[in-house]
């Protein structure tokens, strides 16, 4: 039996009552290379998936074409099967902001990856949707060397602007905000 212990915790935190997911891994003889937790969210019940990659994207649930945040699309609309790069395809540290979210009617929710180093995402949007997206924690130099954290925020009334402002507030509160001036 592999000698590894996973500590998975979920708690409600702060005045906004965010749901926070933490994972700590104690490896002995076994090594964890990847952990997909919490599970990817199926966007079949949302109107839009909000992505902060590139200049930002609002991806409708039923978008008729295959979509990938970074992978190259061939002239026939398929994703290039030769594009198997990891860094350009799904590492959150390649995004300018480490969050994504969803809108349904007037409500919205978002996930903020608080430990974006070695964090990636699971992503799928086939022709006609829906979008499935979730966190993927990767090892660091062959081991899970530090704890990983994800924050889930909910808004009764909100849209992509609400989500971007919430991320800015998170960055400012964590001391990571750098202004151009």
**pLDDT at res. 23:** 97
36-64: pLDDT as tens digits? 999 999 999 999 999 988 788 999 999 99
- According to the model, what pLDDT value does residue 88 have? 47
Mean pLDDT of 58-78: 87
pLDDT at site 94:
61
pLDDT band at 32; cut points 50, 70, 90: very high
Task: Please state the three-class secondary structure of the chain as a single string.
Answer: CCCEEEEEEEEEECCCCEEEEEEEEEECCCCCCEECCCCCEEHHHCCEEEECCCCCEEEECCCCCCCCCCCCECCCCCECCCCCCCHHHHEHHHCCCCEEEEEECCEEEEEEECCCCCEEEEEECCCCCCCEEEEEEECECCECCCCEEEEEEEECCCCHHHHHHHHHHHHHHCCCCCCCC
Q: What is the pLDDT of residues 101-130, one digit of tens each?
A: 999 999 999 999 999 888 888 889 999 999
């Amino acid at each position: 039996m592999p000698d590894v212990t996973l500590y998975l915790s979920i708690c409600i935190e702060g005045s906004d009552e965010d749901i926070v997911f933490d994972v700590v891994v104690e490896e002995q003889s076994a090594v964890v290379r990847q952990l997909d937790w919490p599970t990817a969210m199926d966007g079949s019940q949302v109107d839009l998936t909000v992505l902060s990659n590139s200049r930002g994207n609002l991806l409708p649930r039923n978008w008729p074409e295959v979509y990938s945040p970074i992978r190259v699309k061939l002239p026939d609309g398929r994703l290039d099967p030769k594009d198997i790069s990891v860094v350009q395809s799904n590492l959150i540290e390649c995004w300018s902001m480490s969050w994504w979210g969803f809108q349904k009617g007037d409500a919205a929710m978002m996930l903020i990856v608080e430990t974006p180093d070695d964090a990636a995402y699971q992503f799928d949007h086939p022709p006609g949707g829906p979008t499935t997206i979730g966190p993927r924690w990767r090892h660091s130099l062959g081991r899970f060397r530090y704890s990983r954290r994800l924050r889930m925020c909910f808004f009764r009334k909100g849209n992509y602007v609400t989500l971007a402002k919430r991320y800015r507030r998170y960055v400012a509160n964590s001391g990571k905000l750098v202004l151009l001036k």
